[in-house]
Amino acid sequence: MEQRTGLEAQIDHWRWYVLRRQAISSADVDEMEDHLRERIAELRASGLDDEEAFLVAIKRMGSLDAISREFALEHSDRLWKQLVFVPDGVDVAGARPWRELAAVLGLAVGAGVAVKVGLAAFDEGSALMRNVALLVFPFLAGYFAWKRRLTARVVAALVIPFLLLAVVLNAYPFEPFRSTEVLAALHAPVLLWLLVGLAYVGGRWRSDGRRMDFVRFTGELVIYDALIALGGGVLVGLTAGVLSLVGVDFEPVLEDWVLPLAVPGALVVAAWLVEAKQNVIENIAPVLTRIFTPLTIVMLLTLLGALATTGGLVEVDRELLILMDAILVLVLCLLLYSISARDSLAAPGFFDGLQLVMVVAALAVDAVMLGAMLARIAEFGTSPNKVAALGLNILLLVHLAWAAWLSLGLLQHRRPFAELERWQTRYLPVYGAWAGVVVVAFPPLFGFA
């Protein structure tokens, strides 16, 4: 039995190795695996053991370089890593890819219609602001629920918090557009996003690996969504331009129909694209981190220099805290995405050092601003906005500070990379908890101000 699993592991490893060749698609590997297994079965029947049969079968398969070259000659298009949405002839149950496409389009339209209906149903603007994430969420989570074939327990774990959140957001006597309402509307999507994560990982939320997958997914989704928005913007601009020439005003249609339907729909489609291309293209977010980590260091050092030479902050208010939170989120994202793409066995290198510099610089800038801010709060008292921004700042600070400590350990060869990775994924739910506090506890605490 142990021998069988050894053989399976070897075949798995072979598959992985072959798949790294860009010219060989996974369907080709399936085909060759079938061949390999049959050859192994025949060799075993003639008396060889698993190990020998595997080695002979691999040898008979020939040099992978040569095969890969032949495939490349035959399929030069593959070298461009084409994204195939509906792979033809790849699936035995031929209907499946089309069914997925249909399901995705259905969900995308559903999300758009839900927002459109919401626009009509909530006449006062602030109610829509509170509910818009709730309207889109079921379609996105629904896609993963369908895709991952979630069990009833996991579905319940999605639906119950969703309903509770919906009740809180709509039953609280919010004053339109006061701070607590805006804060609740801003933090509800964070909670919902973690629920999407629960659906994404198929209920296996304890797994660090799956959590990291969700982090990767999030980064890619943001990039895909931005790309779709960019393309959509070009189309809208061209349409509006031509229509204005014939004297038709496109703006009302754009505001009433195109945007409410297209923006939520694009989110669902982007989620599907990230899913579909997962195995096709390497992730782009980690590539961007390589570019922006050095640039961010330059930015942070400039900020530090400016703070030191101008002799302190002229105006300290919540804008500053929010700005600082944004900088820390940026730094965190850069850290998170390069960690998500790092080979966990690689020795610490130059880029790990660069990252540590970035995190330390961010912490230094934050310390200066936070000091000023705390003095300010002590003088003028708190407000919901200040407390929310301060809370997030502290969470980010803890996250980054400990990550810096672990990075230092990594660079000194005292700690394994896995520890740094685990810290990131373990810490994520803390943000959800904080968002929950802001949504649920803040409004009554601050008297719905």
Partner 1 sequence: MHIEKDLVAASSTPLVLGILAEGESYGYAILKRVNDLSGGRMQWTDGMLYPLLHRLERLGYVSSAWGTSDVGRRRKHYAITPAGREALAEKQKQWSVVADALKQVWQAAQQPPAVAEGWA
39: contact with partner 1 by CB under 8 A: yes
Helix (H) / strand (E) element for 362: namely helix 350-380
Q: Which is nearer to partner 1, 75 or 147 (CB)?
A: 75
Phi, psi (5° rounding) for residue 411? -65, -30
49: contact with partner 1 by CB under 8 A: no
51: contact with partner 1 by CB under 8 A: no
45: contact with partner 1 by CB under 8 A: no
- Distance in Å, CB of 56 to partner 1, minimum: 11
| Burial (CB count <10 Å: 0-12, 13-18, 19+), residue 356 | buried
66: contact with partner 1 by CB under 8 A: yes
Distance CA(358)–CA(404), nearest Å, equals 9
210: contact with partner 1 by CB under 8 A: no
Residues 188/130, Cβ–Cβ less than 8 Å: yes
Q: Which stretch binds partner 1 (CB under 8 A): 28-36, 330-338, 421-429, 430-438?
A: 28-36
Q: Which is nearer to partner 1, 67 or 103 (CB)?
A: 67
Q: Which is nearer to partner 1, 37 or 81 (CB)?
A: 37
What DSSP state is assigned to residue 348? P
Q: Which of residues 91-130 bind partner 1 (CB under 8 A)?
A: 91-92
Q: What would the two tokens of residue 375 be?
A: 């003095």
Distance CA(428)–CA(338), nearest Å, equals 16
Number of residues that bind partner 1 (CB under 8 A): 28
Q: Which is nearer to partner 1, 88 or 282 (CB)?
A: 88
34: contact with partner 1 by CB under 8 A: yes
Count of beta carbons in the 10 Å neighbourhood of residue 18? 19
Distance CA(272)–CA(264), nearest Å, equals 13
Q: What would the two tokens of residue 351 be?
A: 């880029």
Q: Binding partner 1 by CB under 8 A: which of 1, 2, 89, 149? A: 89
Nearest residue to 327 (alpha-carbon basis) of 356, 364, 273: 364
Q: Binding partner 1 by CB under 8 A: which of 52, 74, 255, 419? A: 74
Q: Binding partner 1 by CB under 8 A: which of 71, 217, 292, 434? A: 71
Q: Binding partner 1 by CB under 8 A: which of 28, 50, 275, 352? A: 28
Q: Binding partner 1 by CB under 8 A: which of 8, 12, 30, 249? A: 30
Nearest residue to 182 (alpha-carbon basis) of 129, 136, 133, 135: 129
64: contact with partner 1 by CB under 8 A: yes
